[in-house]
Copies of this chain bind each other. A is one copy, B any other.
């Protein structure tokens, strides 16, 4: 059997069929993800369990296009799952990665994506210990889907969750919003101008660790992905049976993102991020939490954007820059499909 041609070759049905052809492809993944647990190539990886409590999360990535300013599906697949673990107050440890490949997908693109995953995982200090590869016929997928599942060790005694949120609590945001969604839009060439916006795609576990280390009594953390900040605030309002009140002027939106939103009639608050989080804590802890966030590179532009109120229950309201107030609705869906 001939060697894989990573420059000019393409994915074939046999690469997902459990035989020698698949083994060739899997060898390349194992080499890129370089770690002794995966190298065993058993059906499951075994390792010492975390101590105490652990966290588990999964995400399927179907982003289109696969490469965009500031990242690619591989980087996104690592960051997205690392972030979900981090939002649970846990330290990400091990990841699994499943690949669904479309017949005919260029091996050169697959190589670039796998290398990006390996690089991002290494930087984040997580190990990809289990994997799977499937191939489907042309037009039965869209190039490549990646599904990552992560587990981590909970290292905080805090109980985090939307249901922990109480009236009076402070609402913090880690930085400027809307960059991932607008970068995706520009990559799809749906914009009539060159937007110069890069996705904010990043692993946030360093930032959340800094936040936990601050000693603030965190009640809730969530990364603002699909549905943006608007979706998260509405979920909190609904889950905790509270009102959420935010100040538009406190929410950072970069000039190019604001311009793109204005042009396209989009709400920056509803646009997806991949490296921004919303945190909620008691009001007295807000200053030190904010300071901790601002001392981390991924939280430099963190701000206090509002607070929790008794009511109106389930509703998010925003005081606009010019003084009046409006309801921020729960998005029906994302304006942009396949953002992650």
Contact = CB atoms under 8 A, between A and B. Distances in A.
Interface of A: 1, 13-22, 40-62, 83-85, 87-90, 94, 96-100, 129-137, 139-142, 145, 147, 149-154, 160-163, 222-223, 225-227, 231, 239, 272, 330-334, 337-338
Contact of A58 (B14, B132, B136): B132
Contacts of A89: 46
13 contacts: A18-B334, A20-B331, A40-B161, A42-B87, A44-B55, A47-B53, A49-B51, A60-B98, A60-B99, A60-B132, A61-B134, A62-B100, A134-B338
Given A42-B88, A96-B149, A331 B18 contact: yes
Contact of A54 (B41, B46, B83, B99): B46
Chain A at the B interface: SS class: mixed
A140 B137 contact: no
A60 B100 contact: yes
Given A47-B54, A56-B94, A330 B87 contact: no
Give the number of times this chain occurs in the complex, counting copies.
2
B129 A18 contact: no
B46 A154 contact: yes
Contacts of A334: 17-19
A136 B62 contact: yes
B337 A44 contact: no
